[in-house]
Amino acid sequence: MPLDPLSQVPFNGEAPLAALRSPVTPLESLYVRSNFPEPRLDPQAWRLEIGGAVETPRRWSLDELQALGSTLERTVTLECAGNGRSFIEPPVSGTPWTLGATGTAVFTGVPLAQVLARSGVGADVVEWCFTGADVGEAGPWGTVPFQRSLPAEAVTPGPDGPLLAWALNGRPLTLRHGAPVRLVVPGWYAVASVKWLVGVEALTEPFQGRFQTDRYLYVRDGAVLGPVTRMKVRALVLDPAEGDPVPEGDSLAASGIAWSGAAPVTEVAVSVDGGTTWTPAQVEPPRERWTAQRWSWTGPAPEGPTPSVVARATDAFGAVQPLETWTNDLGYGNNEVHRVGLSPLLQPAEPSS
């Protein structure tokens, strides 16, 4: 299924929700988020610069990364921090994502921590700054590259740590998804997974770049509430779809996916009366630690003139999706419950006399 385009330069497109029914999102349906136009990099000439507060700065080629002998595959669900922005009222600026700015993909690469260890990491490093090759105008900031940082403690060597990835769903990364190498940070909103990666810098002070201190913040009424970090808990209803008819009979089968960047999802509850009453769904364990979980539910069919199905997820840390829109100035992290409206059954016409 092709993406629904939201802008062309830079290209941004979201997945039709039906494409998310697959455990791994097909490449042509995996959403694309870019802040600047896509840079075209020659994989053979590409180099990754490791610098800053390290003992031994180093440049890595793609061949050298692939020769490390620690290649792994990791299936990860990614989500744009602006997913759900279009439901915020009054409208806020930014790409008007509905709910398709998410997807699950298989990434192939090497652990970032292993590569950084080859340069020697000083004890005074507090953050790592990641620079993409994409560059553009950013208002008073002038011409800047896309850069984001992670706290040092987020760059762990284990299975939960970031990955330097060069393949996606078994194929080399495409241009739109960050070729030749991108960062993949499991559990974090995908702004952290910098595409077209060309630089990693060890910092002894917090990074103050445009996309760290001016964007990707939770701001309400002008007050900064905190940075965008891990994905909030969310469930999506994938079946039935918006506008499907209420089934004949007394029962309805519903299913979808749920995820959280903090902890596994432990419960999905479903309501067919607008959120007055809830009944639990069956929730499958994740395929891997950082993949969306499947859920399914069978219960009474919704009634009334505006029938709907609502799903609400809870994770192992006790975070629960809000029932209402999470309003903030920049439109990030709106993880309100997903409501799917159905078409009521048409009643048979009364016979004419």
Give the domain-ending residue among 227, 251, 286.
Answer: 227
Same domain, 138 and 157: yes
pLDDT at 212: 97
pLDDT at 313: 98
The answer to the question of residue 348 being in a domain is no
Q: Collect the ranges in the chain with pLDDT lower than 70.
A: 346-353
Of 74, 79, 72, residue with least CA distance to 15:
79
Give the domain-ending residue among 227, 244, 279.
Answer: 227
Angle at 119 (CA atoms; ends 157, 158), nearest 5 degrees: 5
pLDDT at 352: 55
Residues 27-86 have pLDDT tens digits of 999 999 999 999 999 999 999 999 999 999 999 999 999 999 889 999 999 999 999 999
CATH code (residue 310): 2.60.40.650
pTM, entire model: 0.95
How many independent structural domains does the chain possess? 2
120 residue type, one letter: G
pLDDT at 160: 86
Strands (E), 204-348: 217-220, 223-227, 234-239, 251-259, 265-271, 279-280, 282-283, 293-300, 308-315, 338-341
The answer to the question of residue 296 being in a domain is yes
Same domain, 212 and 179: yes
Which residue segment(s) compose the domain that 69 sits in? 4-227
CATH code (residue 129): 3.90.420.10
Distance of alpha carbon 287 from alpha carbon 309, whole angstroms: 25
Distance of alpha carbon 307 from alpha carbon 336, whole angstroms: 19
